[in-house]
Amino acid sequence: MIDFNELITNYVKREIKEKTPGRYYPSEAGNCIRKVYYSYKQPKEVGMELLKIFEAGNILHEFIVNVLESEKNPDIELIEKESPFQLKVDDMIISGRVDDIVILKINNKIYLVEVKSTKSLQYTREPSEMHLTQLQIYMHAKEIHRGIIIYLEKNTLQSKTFEVKYDEEHYNKIVLRLKDLDKHIKENKLPIPEARIKSKMTWMCRNCQYREECFNDTPKL
């Protein structure tokens, strides 16, 4: 018999890749600054369970693309479904291939659309700060100032949609945050354990792969 679980594990497994200080990704901008610091200084393999969750999200994103491209939805025009970008900010580069972003034309208006899968929509009342942060970077980079975040429930394919406007002040704060991260990394200076001290971020600690290192470095707050 084939062990299909093993086949899936082999397929989604990734090698550890060292990151280059000075080059940052939108997903890092809204994450715990200490966790991101560790990921540059002590790169680790991503856990297999999390990799499989990411892959399931990629599959659902492809489903959304098929929905948007379908001739059954003639009022929507899919303009772009993979959107690489690179921003030069002083001596930093913010870059990425925007896998979960598509660009749509709706009623002759262009929207940058971020698709996120979720286990449940029950408590989804507004977009998460992390996703808003990513979208602000994407909108700035692509010079598209209308955005949409779609949350898609994995088990039911039900969704919730939120419209987001580009906010230059928000974007500038994100840049300052990345500059702060960049300074800590280049000076080998451990940042604050952000997710442990900010109530809206404490959920990040639960499955953090650097939890042990964080508590060892700062046992008490």
- State pLDDT tens for residues 174-219: 999 999 999 999 999 999 999 999 998 999 998 899 999 999 999 9
The closest of 39, 45, 44 to 19, measured between CA atoms, is 39
Domain boundaries, the chain: 27-217
Q: What is the pLDDT of residue 137?
A: 94
Q: What is the reported pTM?
A: 0.88
- State pLDDT tens for residues 85-121: 889 999 999 987 655 678 888 888 999 988 898 989 9
> Whose structure tokens read 């899919």?
78
Q: Which long-range contacts (CB under 8 A, 24 or more apart) does 55-58 make?
A: 55/11, 55/12, 56/117, 56/154, 57/100, 57/116, 57/117, 58/99
27-217: which CATH number, 3.90.320.10, 3.90.1150.10, 3.30.360.10, 2.40.50.100?
A: 3.90.320.10
Q: What is the pLDDT of residue 176?
A: 96
**Phi and psi at residue 120, to the nearest 5°:** -150, 145
Residue 58 burial (CB count, 10 A): 14
